[in-house]
Amino acid sequence: MKKWQKLLMLASLTLGFTACNQTTQTSSSESTTASTEEFLIEEVQWPLYTITDEAGNHSYLLGSIHVGEEEMYPFPTEITEAVTTSDVVISEINFESMNTPTAAALSQRAIVKEPHVLTDLSKKDKERLAEKLDSYNLSLNNIEGMNYFGLTTMLQSKYSGIQEVNNGVDMQIAKLVSKNGIENIGFETIGQQYDIINQYYDDYLTTADDWIGELPDLKTAKSELQELLQYYCEGKIADNFDELFLEEEEDNDIMLAGRNHDWLQQLKTLLPEEKQYFIVVGAGHLYGEEGLIALLQAENYQVEQVEFE
């Protein structure tokens, strides 16, 4: 798997700020071209699980993807009722914090943090990068003063439109939370997530053989995003987790395992309370030996997938 595809998966399946950041960047861009690929899924294989403690108290865990298509909705009754009957919804970041001046300021700061992508590029590499950007109707001037995160955000605003962002699972859950006045808390802050992604991208640029060569043109980027969405909807994340996420141990440590362990500590404090929680996080956090499902089971919680009618 190419590193770019890995980056796309990690952003879409593990980072809640993706919705916030792409909404901010898309609204400020000249135009956004949504995917033109036909969406083929008739029924989503939703990764919804019940979490039951030894006393019989239960909560819910849903794996999300931060982009989506209108055809995925409405949610089935099982998900809607799980959300609306819960006392608290736990998301990666607090939903209301996504659309604040602070979020916009943090986004801007994150994309201009050094090192900038153009700083040490040779003339030849700048020409190669300019050719890649041309398919997005962008130029080197558009990414002047940006780091790699800023570059990828700019590209995402072209291949993932505002409609896809608004149809992300997190955004749809957020609408239910707002409509029903449900309490919402976040595992992390937006600032923490920006720090995580910048660390990951800095490490990538340090070790990548040819990051410019791995950047896809616009058509390819759209196709890869659509493939990832189909993969999620077909319920293939769990069975193929190792292949998708564990090719490089350091990637897993930064983006998944470390954060999962942090979240587990928070859940160990929250779940014993006599409240029903609905937890929604990127689907990449659920599986594997250090996924939330395995970590919760190791703490004597029973985790079972919900069967839909």
Q: CB within 8 A of 131, min separation 6: which ones?
A: none
Tell me which amino acid residue 168 is. G
Rounded mean pLDDT, 119-143: 96
Q: CB within 8 A of 122, min separation 6: which ones?
A: none
Tokens of 7: 């980056």
Radius of gyration of the chain measured on its C-alpha atoms: 19
* pLDDT on residue 33: 46
Q: CB within 8 A of 18, min separation 6: which ones?
A: 11, 12, 66, 67, 165, 168
Domain ranges of the chain: 3-305
* pLDDT on residue 123: 96
Tokens of 56: 């019989």
CA distance 116 to 76: 44
pLDDT in tens, 151-197: 998 998 898 878 888 899 999 999 999 999 999 999 999 999 888 88
Residue 63 CA from chain centroid, whole number: 10
pTM of structure: 0.91
* pLDDT on residue 35: 46
pLDDT in tens, 95-111: 999 888 888 898 889 89
Map residue 216 onto helix, strand or coil. Answer: coil
